Amino acid sequence: MKPLIAVVGRPNVGKSTLFNRIAGNRIAIVEDTPGVTRDRIYADCEWCGRAFTLIDTGGLELKSEDEMWTHIRTQAEIAVETANAILYVVDGKTGLTTDDNLVCAYLRKSNLPVVLAVNKIDNNMMDSVYDFYALGFGEPYAVSAEQGKGIGDLLDALMEVIPVSVVEDDDERIKIAIVGKPNAGKSSITNRLLGYDRCIVSDIAGTTRDAIDTELNIGDDKYLIIDTAGMRKKKAVSLDLERYSVMRALLAVRRADVVLIVCDANEGFTEQDVKIAGFVHDEGKPSIIVMNKWDLVDKDTHTINQYENKLKEDLKYMNYFKSVYISAKSGKRLDNLLPLCKEVVANSRRRISTGLLNEVVGEAIRISEPPSYLGRKLKIFFVTQVSVTPPTFVVKVNDPTIMHFSYKRYLENALRKSFDFSGTPIRIAVRANNEKD
């Protein structure tokens, strides 16, 4: 995995602004109010050919017993526990505070390398930087996250304290994350695919604690199988160790090319399965619903149709899903999994020429005209594909506010009808055209 760098500090010192600046995108919400960032936010970044993952955390209020601040503190502690290094952010305008010293004492206990960033520093404020030598983390790096000053030197310092992870194009090896509830049979599927017992298999839920990577080569096809810990409902996750395991499972989804969402066919498709599928969908990952333990289900000729109809009802938001019914124990239909993985990954990487796209969208517009609002009609000028994994399209229009979500869905269905995007989400962004109407 890429090295993890946790951005830590007391509230309102500019952590999220610095996070967005390094990530090169406005990912975290930035507001001049303490406590805006509550959960951990991740961004894959690179600097001078080095790859790393940045984790934004909420402000550390170590003295507060307020429920919200306790939750924020827990999230930050998880980030620190799993990180390779700490980016400790302080406020140069406010100067060194008691709370900074408390956070400093907490970070020392982690035994991780710490790089100190003094934020909100202008050219005439350099003298205030020297006060932060007192924290004992070596040279303080003066930065202005808002203006982008001093970021290069800060990143150079961070690269010196994290493991080397070179940015490389690893499209050759298909990364398959296997996720699902505890005891759904994820490790059994992993062992079957590999042909040997790589993971411990037990009827005790929670046997797998970490995301386990194993390479698999079949002829010219190269795969990376990632077995993960079971993902329980939030209220059922109590132990710190299990909390970290679930977090690593979520990270595995983020770095996967395709995700196998494993369900226990005996239990059917449950509410927790829907939530896991929703997370995979939100991450823009192609996926396959794997109904495991199919050998234990009492079946007739209509059983699969009944299961499929249930999936269509529960997964209306991801009607592109692909499903397969297997038994990891007997190996039945398991040989369908890897070819299906290759198929949906290829669909997620599919590029459509602008000319062909506009022919399809033009035909869709002729069949059903765009909506109007307050007498103003939506005009669609052209469509272009801007990226893959997931396939992302930009629709240029006269006024994006007129585009109703139902017509956007209609355009998505038109694209899916003309091109094979089964198994993968697609994204459609509506933008105003630069030209006059």
What pLDDT digit, counting tens, does each position of 315-337 carry? 998 989 999 999 998 888 899 99
In angstroms, the Cα distances linking 413 to 140, 353, 408, 431 are 53, 18, 9, 19
Q: Are 217 and 365 part of one and the same domain?
A: no
Residue 166 inside a domain? The answer is no
Q: Are 313 and 385 part of one and the same domain?
A: no
Q: Are 281 and 358 part of one and the same domain?
A: no
Q: Indicate if the pLDDT at residue 125 is higher than 80.
A: no
Q: Which distant-in-sequence residues (6+ apart) come within 8 Å of 205 by Cβ?
A: 182, 183, 230
Residue 228 inside a domain? The answer is yes
3-state secondary structure of 420: coil
Q: Are 153 and 227 part of one and the same domain?
A: no
What pLDDT digit, counting tens, does each position of 12-60 carry? 898 888 998 998 865 544 444 444 444 567 778 889 888 898 888 877 8
- Which of 159, 182, 203 terminates a domain? The answer is 159
Residue 42 inside a domain? The answer is yes
Residue 168 inside a domain? The answer is no
Residue 304 pLDDT class (50, 70, 90 cuts): very high
Q: Are 30 and 142 part of one and the same domain?
A: yes
Residue 200 pLDDT class (50, 70, 90 cuts): very low
Percent of the chain with pLDDT over 70: 84
What pLDDT digit, counting tens, does each position of 209-236 carry? 345 667 788 888 889 888 777 776 655 4
Q: Indicate if the pLDDT at residue 141 is higher than 50.
A: yes
Q: Are 233 and 208 part of one and the same domain?
A: yes
Q: Are 201 and 290 part of one and the same domain?
A: yes
| pTM of the complete model | 0.61
Q: Indicate if the pLDDT at residue 205 is higher than 90.
A: no
CATH number where 182 lies: 3.40.50.300
Is residue 136 classed exposed, middle or buried when 0-12, 13-18 and 19+ CB atoms within 10 A define those classes?
exposed
Q: Are 358 and 344 part of one and the same domain?
A: no
Q: In what order do the strands lie in the sheet with 173-180?
A: 212-218, 221-227, 173-180, 258-264, 287-292, 322-325
CATH number where 428 lies: 3.30.300.20
In angstroms, the Cα distances linking 72 to 37, 68, 234, 254, 428 are 8, 6, 15, 22, 33
31 vs 366: which has the higher pLDDT: 366
Cα–Cα distance between 232 and 234 in angstroms, integer? 6
Residue 203 inside a domain? The answer is yes
φ, ψ at 43 (rounded to 5°)? -145, 130
Q: Are 74 and 155 part of one and the same domain?
A: yes
Residue 167 inside a domain? The answer is no
Q: Are 344 and 359 part of one and the same domain?
A: no
- Which of 106, 136, 159 terminates a domain? The answer is 159
Range of the domain at 392: 354-432
Residue 27 confidence (pLDDT): 52
Number of domains present in the structure of the chain? 3
- Which of 316, 348, 380 terminates a domain? The answer is 348
Q: Are 336 and 213 part of one and the same domain?
A: yes
- Mean per-residue pLDDT, 377-404: 93
What pLDDT digit, counting tens, does each position of 75-97 carry? 778 778 888 999 999 999 889 99
Q: Are 180 and 325 part of one and the same domain?
A: yes
Contact by Cβ (8 Å): 283, 255? no
